A and B are shown apart, each in its own frame.
Chain A
Amino acid sequence: MFTRMIWTPLAAVLVLGGLAAATSAQTPGLPAAPPTPQVISWPGGSMVLNGSEVIMRTKSPGGSTNLITNSGNGFGNRLVISGGPGVTVVQNARNGIGNRLVLDPDELLIDLDQIVPGMKLGQRSPPLPGLPVVDGKRDVVASYKGKENKFWTKREYHDSYDCNLYWDPSTKQWFRYYLDDDIFRPVATQPPAPPVEK
């Protein structure tokens, strides 16, 4: 499920949206406007909420992040975060009766339900309208409109296509971006899947 990491000397950039996307099956729906990125900053780091992505940036090496989504709901459940300092991102959790979230005093809590009500991790842009229709249903061949799709878990340059290819964990296919149409489409000859996806 599912991870994209970008290493820089000064900042650790962690894309958590891909993780969330990999853990929840999403079916492309109707077209939607691109989300407006939101930035939440604190001493020593920041977080960018950009559609399906949650990007954590820390200014110092190392650090800890906990992401808890759709969990601990029901009756009398307990979520315990310890061993900080770090950042804990919570979304749609501890709903119900008698559920508790226990944090270390130095742990930074980011409750997405309070910051961005209604936000769903793992959302993606819909396929391009007008795709081939088979038996009255939309063709199952996926394509993703707009360059702002950020749910890819892997990007690799491939000599055979002379361009970057993007790995979609839900369809388990490599996609390439077509600038003229502003759309991602799966490539005809699929290179081997990334190691973590096998």
Chain B
Amino acid sequence: MTRFTSVKMLVAGLVSVVACAGTASAQNFIRGSGNGVGNTIVSQNRGGYGGKNVIQNSGNGIGNTIVAQNRGGYHSVGYPQQFGGQNVIQNSGNGIGNTIIAQNRGGYGFGGFPSGGGLNLVTNSGNGIGNTIVAQNGPGSFPGGGVFPGGVNVNVIANSGNGIGNTISTQNGRPGGLNINVVANSGNGSGNVIHTGNR
């Protein structure tokens, strides 16, 4: 299922953009929304496999919150190398005091396949002052099987979190998986913190 959400925020802080889907291979697209002051964007997929959230050009301004979350997710039989959940956030959350959270939770193995991994891709986002970017895969996966029972989990942060006092946190919390964090062209400036962790 694919759903597109586009809401132009003319009055700041009064409207939240919420996209939720609960079927297999669900996708949410949010573009050009929630810009301004004090807006909240929540994009969530529950259960199924291959859930994907795409948020572009949104949540820019001051004190906005962007949450992209996939709950559940597993390898389908015909596509054993698919990610269990994907979050793509581009050109969003720039400004002052914005928060971006991209999270893939859950995920379990199917037969001999590893559990569904997760991919978080954040580009050109969270630049400015005092912004927070959190990209997280897990916890909550079931062991699964295969070579990497915890799945393949990847966080990529590029051209983001530059400025002053920004925080970038990437974490893979799936034991037994192939866990990768990539931070490129990010966290440059003054007083920024980049934390990458695998557990």
Contacts and interface: CB of A to CB of B under 8 A. Distances in A.
Given A7-B147, A61-B147, A77 B182 contact: no
B195 interface: yes
Contacts of B190: 74-77
A67 interface: yes
Contacts of B183: 66-69, 71
Sort chain A's interface into a size bin: 35 or more
A81 B197 contact: yes
Interface of B: 81, 86, 119, 121, 123, 147-150, 152, 154, 156, 158-159, 171-172, 175-199
Interface in A60-108: 61-84, 86, 88
A61 B179 CA distance: 11
Contacts of A47: none
Contact of B177 (A3, A7, A62, A73): A62
Q: List the 9 closest A-B pairs by CB distance, nearest first.
A: A64-B198, A83-B197, A23-B158, A64-B179, A23-B184, A83-B199, A75-B190, A82-B197, A80-B195
Interface of A: 1-3, 5, 7, 9, 12, 14, 16, 19-20, 23-24, 61-84, 86, 88, 196
Nearest to B167: A78
A69 B187 contact: no
A4 to B, nearest CB: 11
A14 B156 CA distance: 14
B147 A65 contact: no
A66 B178 CA distance: 11
B148 A61 contact: yes
Contacts of B185: 23-24, 69-71
Nearest to B161: A71
Given A62-B178, A67-B181, A72-B187, A77 B148 contact: no
